[in-house]
Structure formats: structure tokens, C-alpha cells
Structure 1
Amino acid sequence: MGGVGEQGEGPAPLGAPLPTFRWEQIRQHNLPGDKWLVIERRVYDISRWAQRHPGGSRLIGHYGAEDATDAFRAFHQDLSFVRKFLQPLLIGELAPEEPSQDGPQDAQCWCLQHDLGHTSVFRKSQWNHVAQQFVMGQLKGFSAHWWNFRHFQHHAKPNIFHKDPDVTVAPVFLLGESSVEYGKKKLRYLPYHRQHLYFFLIGPPLLTLVNFEVENLAYMLVCMQWTDLLWAASFYSRFFLCYAPFYGLPGALLLFVAVRVLESHWFVWITQMNHIPKEIGHEKHRDWASSQLAATCNVEPSLFIDWFSGHLNFQIEHHLFPTMPRHNYRRVAPLVKALCAKHGLNYEVKPFLTALVDIIGSLKKSGDVWLEAYLHQ
């Protein structure tokens, strides 16, 4: 039960029997410079390689000491190609008597995951990286690497504090479990029981205009993404060269702000109606299907809503199959819904306006929970 893998000294020799590990041993290796994970019942030491992970070290690090099989299959299309990179990192395998995933097992979700594997045949291809850089950089002024850095984490660990950047928004807003924590600690940086009101002032209007702009620029500079920086520079050069001659520099700046504010409103309402009203908290170490269903819901489809939301009203499918082209969500949704019904799992679908109102209701509920804990704990 030990050998070379127990100390993380290197891969197991070719042809030699693989050391076996129990989950209690694997759990010890979830430190910044010492990370193991399990994929398809094989144990890998990613401690040194994580920094070279194409999806980012933080993304793969979120699965430290966990079974990453479902995330591995969801994010990588050519599994045979990716397994070649895993082979040098192999140090052992799970002991035969150990379950594939650590912690309590939900038999219904394991059955669902098996069935969903067959549903995923609808997944075809993903954008070419250069095309993504062009769209994000030249057309939007953002870094493709920065966006992937954020968005992959959100998909891998949705609604998990410190792993999903979309919900790690304290101390500006308190969501889910953070409300009780701040209340018990008597922390009051803002009037959180009024956050459902000041959300309209600093949430939808400023996310893209301020938060994304600053975070995007900082990421490109700190991570030295010079290609992305050039793409972003081309966007701003084109924008101001096109509009400054007509409106002057102040007018062009005003137009830029107006466009970003409108874009920010759309982005916040469309993306958060599927997430903020759902469960938000610390790591529960759930399996892939359970974590996605607990953190997402769908919005009733229509030709207008499908178009207006960019098919993100099918958020459950979007999370279960993160590389599936969006136009296929409508086709696969009835199959996923039927599978959830078959296995007794909740598949939540809301009317569009209800989903929007639920964002405010969830913020108010979290604020009230904070106030109760702040006054009485």
C-alpha cells in the first residue's frame, strides 16, 4: 500500500505492479506543492505538472485528492490524446475494495452519470483556439486565456466558494453559506440586508465595465499573455479610430461606457438567473452530475428566449456537457430531463420572469440570514 507512490517520488516503473492506495492516503495530498488526483481509478501525482496544465493549474488543482474522472471526460474531447500526458504522472491505483469516489455515494447519480455518457454523443466540436482569441480579443477586448481561466473553474466547481469565481463575491455580496459566516463573525462591510437593493446599482451596471475590465487587464499583465494583450489593444484601437472622428474622444468614451453597461446588464441577468437562486456554499465533494444539478436550473424555452439567452436557458445541459455546441441543448434537454425523472433527481425549469425575480429574492434571503446571525449569534 505504499512504495514509490506513497511518497510521491515519481511514476511507477513500466511493467511493475502499480502500488495501491486508499482514499485516506490520497486525502493527505491536497497541498499547494503536493497534489494527487484520481482518474478512472488510477492515481496521478500532478504536483509538478499542474503549472503546465493547458486549462490552468487552479482548475486541475480544485480536484486535488478527489476523483476527477467525470470532469476529465467532460472537458477533454480526445481522451486518448490526453491520456498520453497522464501516463508519466501515474503513481498507482485505487485499492480494489475502495469506491471510485471518496465520501458518501448517491447510487441514483451514479446511474444517471452512466446514462448521460450515452447522451453526450451530441457533442461535436469546440471553437478553434485562434478563432476564440479573435472573438474575445478583437471583437470584445478581453483575453481568451482569462475567460477560460474563469469559466472553466465555474464549470468544474459551480457555486463552490473559492473555486467558482462567479460566486466568490464577498464582501460586496453575501451568497448562501457566506451569509451565516459573516453574521456570526459580526462582519459588516456593507448593509447586507439591503444587498438586494444596491445590487441594482453595482451589480448589473458595473460587472463588465469595471470588474471584468480590471480583472482582465491584471490577468494579462501578471500572466504575461502578450498575444491576448495585443488582441485587446487592437479592439480598443479599432473602436476609438472608428468613433472618435464622429463623436470626439469624450463622445467615443461615453459610447464605450454605454455599450459596456448594456452588455453587463444582459450578462448578469442571463447568467445568474440559473445559479444565484440555487445552492451556494463550500466544497461538498459531490460527483459531477450531483454538483451540476445542485447548482443550476433551466428556464422555459421559446424561440425568443433561446435566441436572447444564447441558449443559456438550457443551463443544466450547458453544465453537464461543457463542450457541447449550444444549438444542441434543445435537442438533448428532453433526454436529460427523462433520465433525471428515471433516477428520481430534480430537474428544475422556471419561467423566464420568475428566474429573474428569483435573483433578487435570493439576495434578499441571504441578506436576511446575515442580519439574523449578526444580531443574535
Structure 2
Amino acid sequence: MGIVEQYNGTTGAERRFPQPSPNGLATNRKLVGVEGKWYDVTSFVHRHPGGEIINYFINKDATDVFRSVHPKGGEHLIKYLKAVGSYTNSVTEDPFNRDMRELYNRLQKEGYFKPDLRWYAKKYAVCLVLLSLVITFVAGFQSSWAHGLAGVFLALFWQQNGMLMHDILHHQAFDNQRLTYLAGLVVAPLSFGMSANWWRDEHWVHHVLLNSVSYEDNFVDPQMWEPVWAQNTKLFPLFQTHIQALLIKIQHIIFIPVCMIAGRFGIIIDSMKRETDLGTWAAFCVHWIAMALLLSLLPNWEERCLFYGVAMLGEGVLHIQLLISHYSKDMYQKEEMHDMEFYRYQVMQNINITNPWWMDWFHGGLNFHIEHHCFPRVPRHCMRQVGSMIQELCRKHDVPYDTTGFFNAVWRTLVGLHQAQKLFKLDPR
């Protein structure tokens, strides 16, 4: 990985750190570099629990990525692999990246990566309180205001379960894969109505190939791509239809309404189309049966539409929260990204949301996007402490630490979409 100086979408001088090459080793084998050693994963690629993402790091140093995405930093996995060679970087490591690696080791030593089941159990208890309020206001009151308020509570129930799904699938509650899967069933398809497996696979790709595109294999960071808008010029070649061109011209106008109105249905439909796990489908069925029973308690269709409409619009805020930390940042081609230093790139490509501590529950940790992308396994309630440590290193190495308020982040996103649509009109393609 290498260095790129960037802030608010503007790119300054770049200093690349070429990837090490497995020279002298069998070129017909699939090798991955971790901590100075090459590991032969040829026979393992098709069995990789994380899916095809491993293919993007063949013949590359994947040390920081490997440690960030695996439970316990992958220490329990690497001992089962046999090294077939070694390598050293051909240039001096970026001092900021070196200090961030030292910070990773410090956090590991001091227990910051230790899953905290007790804390997350308390958070789910809050979700159960919200659900009880939904049932109480639906079944116990006849007025429209009560049913509208029940919709607000349901929106918060969905939103908070979505945040919990994010944390749990990052192994912040369990190191054990089976327990993580079972907890994911509860908070995602059962409570939220979407697939945890689909989301996990897309989200890990998003983490390790953040804001990247590849025209050769038609790849784009899956959580930074929607077929209805293009927030960056590097996405323009991926849009081919007249309808898409029309939508891009008004994307700064439709962004918030689409997130609010279509966000929930879009993510549910996408996850269902790709889901094959029977346990997840069983949870889907329970979710929708429970939702049908809840709606049946309301006296007429007007009240049902009010209740579900308020819930859907309220939960739409989550889809805005998911995008504003990245959309106004630049994008890079995949090979460019591979030649940039991991930690500097993560800091450069994220925006934090400034808010008082008592609003952390609402943002669900997404307000600490810089910290989360650097150290995804750190539990949510440790993010403020870790953030102070990262800010200190950013000041030391003069690395921009981008943080702003929620509404300003939304505004920056809308401005970026508006600027992109003007450039799209000039694109001869």
C-alpha cells in the first residue's frame, strides 16, 4: 500500500508504495502475503468463508486487511497455513502507516478488540423495549397519533437492529463464527427483514476495496454503487441507459427521497434475491408473518398505511447515514488503491459525524467511520477512546482527519452529486 494526500475530494501529490511481488515462486499458484510471508491459498480460495474477496489480494501484501477483517486478527488462522516464501517492501514504509500498525498492536495488547457480549446484550434489550412500545401503541390505542408514534418506534427498532447487525458481523460481540451467524439471524432477517449473509459479504468487500472501481472486470465497491445515481466521475462508464442518464441529471434532487422511500425495500429485495441459506429464509418468514399479524391489529387500511409509512420513512434515515461518510470522497481504480498505504487510505476516504456522546446511540457507531474502517473489530463503545488516539497520530503526521456535523455531511453529499451531474452532462459517452 502507499500514500495519497487527499481532503474533501481533492487529490494532491501522490507517493505510491509498489506492492511486493512473489518473484521466484510458482506463478501458477495463488499466493497471499501476510506479515512478510507468502502463503499458498490455491486450494483454499474456493472454500474461503469470506467469499471471492480473497481473489483481489492474490500476489499482494494483505497484512493490514487480513488483520482487520478476521476474528482475533486472524492469528488462529495463519498458524494452519504454511509459508512458501518471504518478501520485504522495496521502499520505506509510510511513517503514519507504521504508527497505525503500532497502535493496532497496542489496542490488541490492551484488549480493545475483545468482544463485549454484555454491552451488546444491553443494546438488544433496548431494541426489545422499542418493540414492546410498538405493540403497546398498536394494540392498546385507537387514535391515529398513537399509531403514527408506533411507526416511529418501529423505525427506531429497525434502525437499531441494523446497527447491531453491523457490529455483530464485525465480530464485536462474538469471536465464534457460529454464534455470530445465529445472532445475525436474530437482528437481521428476523428483526430487520434483510439477509445478514448478503450484507456481510458486500460489506467486507466495501471495507477492503473501499471507494474503488475496476473497468476490466466491471467491479465497483458494492456499497458505494447504486444504479440510479453517480456520485463520482469514475462511475460514469458504468452507466449505459437513457433512464440512468435522466436520473443522474436530477440525482441531487432525488437522493434524499429515494433513500427515505425506497431504501428499505431496495435493501430487502436485493438481499432476498441472493439468499440461499435456509435458516435465513425461515427467519424471513417469521418476520413477515409477525408483521402481518401486527398490521392486522389496526382497524383499517388507512391506519396500516400510516403506521408502516411512518416506520418506512423513519428507517430511511439509516440509508442516508450509511452513505454520507463516503459519497463526497474521491474514488480510485482498484490497482491504484492497492498501491496506497492501508491506514492512510482509510482515514482519507472516510468522514466522521460530530455529535455529543448522548447521540452516539442514534448513529450506532457510524459517526466514527474513520476509526471503524481502520479497526473494524473494535466494539462501538470504545470508538471515542480510539478516535482520540488516531487524531493524535493524524496531527503528528499532518494527515487530514475529516469530521463534520450530520447535516453538513448531507449537504456535502448533495453538493457532490450536483457537481457530478454537471460533469456527466459533458461526458461524450
Report the counterpart of residue 93 of structure 1 in structure 2: 86
The one-letter code sitting in structure 2 at the alignment partner of 1:346 is P
User: Deviation at 1:212?
Assistant: 0.9
Aligned equivalents of 2:250 and 2:183: distance in 1?
A: 42
The DSSP-based 3-state class of the residue aligned with 1:62 is: helix
Identity across the alignment (%):
22
Matches within 5 A, 1:246-257: 246-247=298-299, 252=304, 255-256=307-308
Q: Which amino acid aligns with 1:166?
A: Q
SS of residue paired to 2:38: strand
AA paired with 1:92? G
Offset of residue 182 of structure 1: 6.5
Match for residue 208 of structure 2? 156
Cα 1:153–1:182 change in 2 (3 A) is closer
Give the Å deviation of 1:204. Answer: 3.5
Q: Is the 8 A contact 1:26 1:36 kept in 2?
A: no
Q: Deviation per CA, 1:88-135: give whole Å up to 9, x if none.
A: xx43222xxx417xx995343333333343245422212341222211
The answer for the alignment partner of 2:222 in structure 1 is 165
Q: Is the 8 A contact 1:293 1:316 kept in 2?
A: yes
CA contact 1:340–1:347 (8 Å) conserved in 2: yes
Instruction: Evaluate the alpha carbon distance shift between residue 179 and residue 226 of structure 1 in structure 2; reply closer, same or farther with a 3 A threshold.
Output: closer
- Which residue of the other structure, out of 252, 263, 266, is the alignment partner of 1:196? 252
- 1:114 equivalent in structure 2: 102
1:44 to 24, 29, 39: 39
- Give unpaired runs (5+ residues) of structure 1: 1-20
Change beyond 3 A, Cα 1:250–1:319: same
C-alpha deviation, 1:37, in angstroms? 1.6
Q: Which residue of 2 aligns with 1:18?
A: none
- State TM-score, norm by structure 1: 0.79
1:64 to 58, 61, 84: 58
Which amino acid in the other structure matches residue 196 of structure 2? Answer: A
Work out whether residues 179 and 370 of structure 1, in 8 Å CA contact, stay in contact via their aligned partners in 2: no
**Mapping for residues 203-352 of structure 1, pairs under 5 Å:** 203-209=259-265, 211-220=266-275, 224-247=276-299, 252=304, 255-256=307-308, 258-263=310-315, 265-283=316-334, 284-285=337-338, 286-352=340-406
Q: 1: CA distance between counterparts of 2:187 and 2:389?
A: 32
Amino acid at match of 1:114: E
Q: Which residue of 1 aligns with 2:232?
A: 176
Instruction: Indicate conservation of the 8 Å contact 2:96/2:344, yes or no.
Output: no
TM-score between the two structures when normalised by the length of structure 2:
0.70
- From the superposition, tell whether residues 373 and 27 of structure 1 become closer, same or farther in structure 2 (CA, over 3 Å): farther
**For the residues of structure 2 that align with 1:368 and 1:178, how far apart are their CA atoms?**
14
Aligned to 2:114: 124
**1:270-321: CA deviation from partner (whole Å, max 9, x where unpaired):** 1212110112232221232022112102121313432221121111111111
Gap runs ≥5 in structure 2: 1-18, 116-171, 174-178, 214-218
The verdict on how the C-alpha distance between 1:272 and 1:290 changes in structure 2, with shifts beyond 3 A counting, is: same
**Count of residue pairs brought into register by the alignment:** 337
2:21 match: 23
The one-letter code of the counterpart of 1:99 is N
What secondary structure is seen at the aligned counterpart in 1 of 2:194? coil
Specify whether residues 233 and 321 from structure 1 end up closer, same or farther in structure 2 by C-alpha distance, changes over 3 A only. Answer: same
Paired with 1:86 and 1:249, the residues of 2 have a C-alpha distance of 59
SS of corresponding position for 2:223: coil
Residue 355 of structure 1 aligns to a residue whose secondary structure is helix
Aligned CA distance change for structure 1 residues 261 and 64 (closer, same or farther; 3 Å): farther
- The 2-side partners of 1:297 and 1:160 are apart by 16
Q: CA deviation at 1:235?
A: 1.0
CA contact (8 A) 1:137 1:228 kept: yes
What amino acid does structure 2 have at the position aligned with 1:345? V
Cα distance in 2 between the residues matched to 1:84 and 1:268:
39
Superposed, 1:137-156 pairs within 5 Å as: 137-156=189-208
* Residues 310, 182 of structure 1: alpha-carbon distance in 2 compared, 3 angstrom cutoff: closer
* Range with greater deviation from structure 2 (249-258 or 290-299): 249-258
Could you tell me how far apart the structure 1 residues matched to 2:370 and 2:26 are?
33
Query: What's the secondary structure of 1:274's corresponding residue?
Result: coil
Work out whether residues 244 and 251 of structure 1, in 8 Å CA contact, stay in contact via their aligned partners in 2: no
Aligned partner (choices 119, 135, 146) of residue 187 of structure 2 = 135
Distance 2:352 2:426 in 1: 31
Cα deviation, 1:203-260, whole Å, max 9, x if unaligned, reads 3321221x2122111111xxx2111111111111111123224346886577445423
